Amino acid sequence: MALLTLETVHAALFADDPADKAERSIALYAACERGERLPASTPADAARLARDADRHPGHPAAPALVAPASLKRRGVGSEAGRIALLHSLAHIEFNAINLALDAVWRYPGQSHDYVEDWLRVARDEAEHFTLLAERLVTLGSRYGAHPAHDGLWDMARRTEHDILVRMALVPRILEARGLDVAPPMIERLQQAGDHASAAILQRIYTDEITHVAVGNRWFRHVCEQRGLDGAAVFRDLLAGGHSVWLRGPYNREARLLAGFTEAELDLIREMEDEYRRDNAPV
């Protein structure tokens, strides 16, 4: 029996238990690797999409979701600080599983290459989440022991109406931010002597370059399909209020590896500067 259907992608997206969601995501990509192809959307799939389009993806009762500003930031010099960091990263990875599955489920009718790319991302995110969740247990904590914020899903909400906007902003702004912050984090963990956590972050960093590349690939593809100039589309989206998400310093080297052009990276920096100028406190 085929494992890869929009129904099973939906089941993974709305699974509440993190371990269950991770297992389902890993199984979906394994089916893809065995040669299964996602069948075309059926009337039942369309009905599920209409019913659940605004529903929050599955998540466990804990962590409690709170306002980002209420979360304390701590240094990684202490074990409590490292646990807080690993917990916040586990939460990001949990959301990233949902974002990758949502990219498949919400926009039916895409090519097999698109489905394969995003299911591979979902599989990677499931592995990232699992590595971090296991590390938390080793350190005497667990995923759900601390509060977390819902900022990532907020961006998903703002971009869900159009695959072009989703591809332009979620992987290329939010996931790409991970490329900027990971190397200094890895270094700080090394300095604190936590080599096991540093190794997990290094693995995640390497994979995330490929995820941002997937975002760049499909952003360009949709622009081409619609006969749009990608650079102009990106500039308009940023100017339309999305510059609020830009935050340097940028890891140019990793971003170039992930397929950004020099011109796009210059644009991102300019748009951030412009946003800061226009919104500076008086």
Instruction: List interacting residues with Fe ion (CB under 5 A).
Output: 93, 96, 125, 128, 175, 208, 211
Provide, rounded to whole angstroms, the least separation between the CB of residue 128 and Fe ion.
Answer: 4
DSSP state of 82: H
Q: Name the nearest CA neighbour of 30 among 2, 50, 52.
A: 2
Q: What whole-number distance in Å separates Cα of residue 159 and Cα of residue 24?
A: 25
Q: What whole-number distance in Å separates Cα of residue 60 and Cα of residue 93?
A: 14
Nearest CB to Fe ion, comparing residues 174 and 271: 174
Nearest CB to Fe ion, comparing residues 5 and 126: 126
Nearest CB to Fe ion, comparing residues 128 and 255: 128
Nearest CB to Fe ion, comparing residues 76 and 96: 96
63 token code pair: 């962590």
Strands 65-66, 148-149: pairing kind: parallel
Provide, rounded to whole angstroms, the least separation between the CB of residue 231 and Fe ion.
Answer: 24
Nearest CB to Fe ion, comparing residues 144 and 215: 215
Residue at 263: amino acid letter? A
Nearest CB to Fe ion, comparing residues 260 and 275: 260
Provide, rounded to whole angstroms, the least separation between the CB of residue 89 and Fe ion.
Answer: 9
With a CB cutoff of 8 Å and minimum separation 6, the contacts of 170 are: 99, 155, 156, 159, 215
246 token code pair: 């830009």
Nearest CB to Fe ion, comparing residues 179 and 246: 179
Provide, rounded to whole angstroms, the least separation between the CB of residue 226 and Fe ion.
Answer: 25
Provide, rounded to whole angstroms, the least separation between the CB of residue 44 and Fe ion.
Answer: 30
Give CA angle at 106 (216, 93), nearest 5°: 60
Provide, rounded to whole angstroms, the least separation between the CB of residue 46 and Fe ion.
Answer: 28
Q: What whole-number distance in Å separates Cα of residue 12 and Cα of residue 20?
A: 8
With a CB cutoff of 8 Å and minimum separation 6, the contacts of 14 are: 52, 55, 57, 58
80 token code pair: 């409590």
Measured from each CB, the residue nearest to Fe ion is 211
Q: Please, what sign has the CA dihedral across residues 155, 10, 97, 254? A: negative
Provide, rounded to whole angstroms, the least separation between the CB of residue 225 and Fe ion.
Answer: 24
